[in-house]
Amino acid sequence: MNNDQTPPVSNFIRNIVMRDRETGKHDKIITRFPPEPNGHLHIGHAKSICLNFGIAAEFGGATNLRFDDTNPLKESDDFAQAILNDVRWLGFEWTELRHASDYFQQLYDFAVHLIRNGKAYVDSQDAEAMRSRRGTLKDPGTDSPYRDRSVEENLDLFERMKNGGFADGEHVLRARIDMASANMNLRDPAIYRIRRVTHHRTGDAWNIYPMYDWAHGISDAIEGITHSLCTLEFEDHRPLYDWFLENIPATCHPQQIEFARGNLDFTVMSKRKLRQLVEEGHVSDWDDPRMPTIAGLRRRGYTARSIRTFWKEAGVSKAESIIPMGVLENAIRNDMNENAPRVMAVLDPIKVVLTNYPEGESEWLQAPSHPQNPEMGHRSVPLSREIWIERADFMEDPPRKFFRLRPGGEVRLRNAFIIKCNDIIKDSDGSVTEIHCEFDPDSRSGLPGAARKVKGTIHWVSAEHGINAEVRLYDRLFNVANPLADKEKDYLEFLNPDSLSVVSSAIVEPTVAQGQPGDFFQFERVGYFTIDQDSKDAARPILNRTVSLRDSWAKINR
């Protein structure tokens, strides 16, 4: 289970659960997370996961993971496996793994029960006729001409639907509630439809499949769920949820409680849209580091802990809101600031020759892996006569407040010593190809001159030892905060064409090449980076920028 240190944050759902424990309404709290295996989980699902698992764990209860697999056309076992993997990775372990399809027989039997009690009927209108009789928010619906079929006829038709005697769409089974209800969901909702397709678990056993509302509440009841937590769009379905449970011989009646969906700006979150991004090749796959999927965030370098912390701090309420992407970025930045080992890497290298450094020699400096956390130890950083620095850290003709390297100027090399620029070499176009510097041997750490202050400190990598790396710089997937806001336009028009740029000539210190996919680092003064799963060769590591440094300058020059 997850190991988050801070105390639980209160919210209205937690209050309900706490009260139900105190009053003894429930001895044991049981929640569930009910994904449909029709895509990968995204950051929004993580909110529901943290809530359901978190609350049950806090009160010593249980949480089932239940696949809501009632829609065979869109679902697959691969998606189911990916979901299990993501939930585990997030740090949660389910009490029982269930499937709505485990209950197909019970769901069917309960439907027969409704029919026997005159509370469900087989409707043979086509979809269009059914729609036209449904009414509107203002006008009541009209009863179906099939609404008063006899129980015997309904039982016979329903059984033949199940046995494959009819084509898709020929009939549906509807609950017989109230075509004039102010709540459209109660106007004789469909509870079974014919779908003569293979199901990824039950194969060809069924020719009818239960509708979401029918399957969901009954599955909750079968599992003894105490609190069925769902998002606000199901608020209007609650009367139906309750009606179903009141009209079948259910052994318990879970309480449905709705909370606001988690939303983030600069992305989209519905699985249908995420699937489109993958299928049309706008991203490489579900785990593309630009995707808001758990798999994408993981590959980007997000830790499970940072995602849990993010949702904990965002809280749970009934108020709809859109959280700025920067808040999520801050969660991983804070985590990495605390936990990422520091290394040096140069993304856009230019060569510096230390003219007074003995030719052919090199040395290994000891540098702290984390300046604020001595427990993280030290690493060895090689140094030789030629080093790479960041092209942007040198200016031939800089403005007044430029405190990095300039002709005749001094700068400190991080973890090493002060250098002074004596000469620059240019190519025929006049661009600088090499910078010649002298280092001050007395300014090495440990020597009296170590305290000598110069205005700037820059990072560097030994040219002889540095490893050539590919670095993938990610930006937001969309270039507007809400790609769905403009209903006239296709959200794909707002894809950010610069969401990925690949730097192929970065140079990293050797420590990085020893890492494994998933290992992360702070490239000092540059950002936080994680080794990508594509990285197979220690001689050519591939890293993803997880998040930039907020304040690269202030920190290091202090």
Q: Considering the complex, state which of residue 293 and residue 369 has its C-beta at the smaller distance from ligand ATP.
A: 293
Q: Which does 440 bind (CB under 5 to 8 A by kind): Mg ion, ligand ATP, none?
A: none
Q: Considering the complex, state which of residue 120 and residue 264 has its C-beta at the smaller distance from ligand ATP.
A: 264
Least distance (Å) from Mg ion to the CB of residue 68? 7
Torsion sign (Cα): 25, 28, 29, 34 = negative
Tell me what percent of the chain is helix, strand and coil, each rounded to the nearest 5: 30, 25, 45
34 near ligand ATP, judged by CB under 6 A: yes
Query: In this chain, which stretch among 19-27, 36-44, 220-228, 434-442 interacts with Mg ion, using CB under 5 A?
Result: 36-44
d(CA 530, CA 390): 20
d(CA 150, CA 161): 16
Least distance (Å) from Mg ion to the CB of residue 185? 16
Q: Which of 79, 1, 516, 9 is nearest to 310 (CA)?
A: 9
d(CA 124, CA 393): 75
Q: Which residue in 13, 17, 31, 36 binds Mg ion (CB under 5 A)?
A: 36
Q: Which residues contact 232 (CB under 8 A, 6 or more apart)?
A: 258, 259, 260, 261, 318, 320
Three-state SS letters, 404-472: CECCCCEEEECCCCEEEEEEEEECCCCCEEEEEEEEEHHHCCCCHHHHCCCCCEECEEECCCCEEEEEE
Q: Which does 230 bind (CB under 5 to 8 A by kind): Mg ion, ligand ATP, none?
A: ligand ATP
CA dist list (Å): 379 to 121, 385, 448, 509, 537: 73, 20, 23, 10, 21
Dihedral pair phi/psi, residue 548, rounded to 5°: -80, 170
Q: Which residue in 13, 17, 30, 35 binds ligand ATP (CB under 6 A)?
A: 35
Q: Considering the complex, state which of residue 216 and residue 525 has its C-beta at the smaller distance from Mg ion.
A: 216
Q: Which does 496 bind (CB under 5 to 8 A by kind): ligand ATP, Mg ion, none?
A: none
Q: Considering the complex, state which of residue 154 and residue 256 has its C-beta at the smaller distance from ligand ATP.
A: 256
Q: Which does 466 bind (CB under 5 to 8 A by kind): ligand ATP, Mg ion, none?
A: none
Based on its alpha-carbon atoms, the radius of gyration of the chain, rounded to whole angstroms, reads 31
45 near ligand ATP, judged by CB under 6 A: yes
Q: Considering the complex, state which of residue 45 and residue 342 has its C-beta at the smaller distance from ligand ATP.
A: 45
270 near ligand ATP, judged by CB under 6 A: yes
179 near 141, Cβ under 8 Å? yes
44 near ligand ATP, judged by CB under 6 A: yes
Indicate which residues carry an active-site annotation.
Answer: 36, 261, 271
36 near ligand ATP, judged by CB under 6 A: yes
Q: Considering the complex, state which of residue 42 and residue 171 has its C-beta at the smaller distance from Mg ion.
A: 42
Query: In this chain, which stretch among 32-40, 99-107, 219-227, 295-303 interacts with Mg ion, using CB under 5 A?
Result: 32-40
Give the residue closest to ligand ATP by C-beta: 44
Mapping DSSP to helix (H, G, I), strand (E, B) and coil, where does residue 257 land? strand
Q: Which of 343, 427, 422, 419 is nearest to 387 (CA)?
A: 419
301 near 546, Cβ under 8 Å? yes
Least distance (Å) from ligand ATP to the CB of residue 501? 28
What residues pair up with 144 in beta bridges, in sequence order?
none
Site size with ligand ATP, rule: CB under 6 A: 15
271 near ligand ATP, judged by CB under 6 A: yes
Q: Which does 270 bind (CB under 5 to 8 A by kind): Mg ion, ligand ATP, none?
A: ligand ATP
Residues 404-433 close enough to bind Mg ion by CB under 5 A: none
Q: Considering the complex, state which of residue 236 and residue 338 has its C-beta at the smaller distance from Mg ion.
A: 236
Least distance (Å) from ligand ATP to the CB of residue 37? 8
Amino acid symbol at 444: R
114 near 248, Cβ under 8 Å? yes
Least distance (Å) from Mg ion to the CB of residue 307? 21
Strands 520-523 and 30-33: unpaired
Residues 223-252 close enough to bind ligand ATP by CB under 6 A: 230-231
Least distance (Å) from ligand ATP to the CB of residue 182? 24
What residues pair up with 352 in beta bridges, in sequence order?
387, 435
Query: In this chain, which stretch among 18-26, 266-274, 342-350, 419-427 interacts with ligand ATP, using CB under 6 A?
Result: 266-274
Q: Considering the complex, state which of residue 261 and residue 282 has its C-beta at the smaller distance from Mg ion.
A: 261
d(CA 230, CA 68): 13
Residues 440-479 close enough to bind ligand ATP by CB under 6 A: none
d(CA 69, CA 502): 39
User: What's the distance, Cα to Cα, between the start and end of the chain in Å?
Assistant: 39
176 near 121, Cβ under 8 Å? yes
Strands 418-426 and 190-194: unpaired
Query: In this chain, which stretch among 263-271, 299-307, 326-334, 364-372 interacts with ligand ATP, using CB under 6 A?
Result: 263-271
Q: Which residues contact 322 (CB under 8 A, 6 or more apart)?
A: 263, 264, 265, 481, 482
Least distance (Å) from Mg ion to the CB of residue 295? 18
Query: In this chain, which stretch among 6-14, 28-36, 57-65, 473-481 interacts with Mg ion, using CB under 5 A?
Result: 28-36
Q: Which residue in 17, 30, 47, 512 binds ligand ATP (CB under 6 A)?
A: 47
Q: Considering the complex, state which of residue 181 and residue 231 has its C-beta at the smaller distance from Mg ion.
A: 231
Residues that bind ligand ATP (CB under 6 A): 34-36, 44-45, 47-48, 68, 230-231, 261-262, 269-271
Residues that bind Mg ion (CB under 5 A): 36
